[in-house]
Amino acid sequence: MPLSEYTGQSPLGNEDATVVRVVPHRLWQPGQTRTEACTNCGEELVLSEEHLLVVLEERGTRTRRYFSEESCIRAWLGEEKQD
Ligand SMILES: [Zn+2]
C-alpha cells in the first residue's frame, strides 16, 4: 500500500500519537556510521542504508522512528492483516 496511507494512524497502544509521514530514508553522513534499532523488531539499522523513516507527532512534539521494512510499520500500527 502507498506509504501515504499510514498518515493519520496511531501506533498500537498509543492513541495520543499520530503518524505524520512515512518516507524511504537514507542518511548521508560522511565518516560516520550511525545505527538505530527498528522500532518494531529491534533489528539494528545502519542509517546510511535504505530504511523507512516515520515522523510521529505526540502532543505537539514530532519525533523520528526508524523501521527496517513496511511489515514492521504495519505490526507497530497493529495492522498485521493481509489485504
Ligand atoms: Zn523491524
Residue 68 lies in a domain: yes
Q: How far is the CA of 40 from the centre of ligand 1 (A)?
A: 5
- Residue 9 belongs to some domain of the structure: yes
Torsion, Cα of 59, 16, 3, 76 (10° steps)? 130
pLDDT digits (tens, 9 = 90+) for 12-62: 999 999 999 999 999 988 888 899 999 999 999 999 999 999 999 999 999
Q: How many domains does the chain have?
A: 1
Q: Is the dihedral of CA 43, 56, 47, 50 positive or negative?
A: positive
Do the domain assignments include residue 83? Answer: no
The CA 11 to ligand 1 mean position distance, Å, reads 14
User: Is residue 32 a part of any domain in this protein?
Assistant: yes
Place of cell 509521514: 21
- For the entire predicted model, the pTM comes to 0.89
Residues with CB under 5 A from ligand 1 (ion): 38, 40-41, 43, 68, 72
Of residues 54, 24, 49, the one with CA closest to residue 39: 54
Q: Per the domain annotation, does 82 fall within a domain? A: no
Structural domain that includes position 28: 3-77
Comparing C-alpha atoms, which of 37, 7, 33, 32 is closest to residue 19?
A: 7
